[in-house]
Amino acid sequence: VAVCESYAFVEKDIRKVIEKGLSYIPSDCEYSRAVRDIMAFYDRCPQDWRECFD
C-alpha cells in the first residue's frame, strides 16, 4: 500500500499505480491474488460492483 501511495504522486493512472504496488509483493500471495481478482472483476463489470456477489 505504501508503494501505491508514493507512486500516486507521480502517476495518475490508477491501474499503473496498483500494478506498481503489486510488483513489490509476491505474485502468488493471497493479497496479490485478491487485488488481481478485483481488477479482473472490474474489467468485466465496471458499472455495477454488486455483480461481484453473484
pLDDT bracket for residue 50 (50, 70, 90):
confident
Q: Is residue 52 part of a domain?
A: no
Q: Which domain holds residue 40?
A: 2-47
Q: Is residue 22 part of a domain?
A: yes
Q: Is residue 7 part of a domain?
A: yes
Q: Is residue 53 part of a domain?
A: no
pLDDT greater at residue 1 or residue 5: 5
If one counts the domains in the chain, the total is 1
Q: Is residue 8 part of a domain?
A: yes
Question: In terms of C-beta density within 10 A (0-12 exposed, 13-18 middle, 19 or more buried), how is residue 30 classed?
Answer: exposed
Q: Is residue 54 part of a domain?
A: no
Instruction: Tell me the pLDDT tens digit for each residue of 9-46.
Output: 999 999 999 999 999 999 999 999 999 999 999 998 88
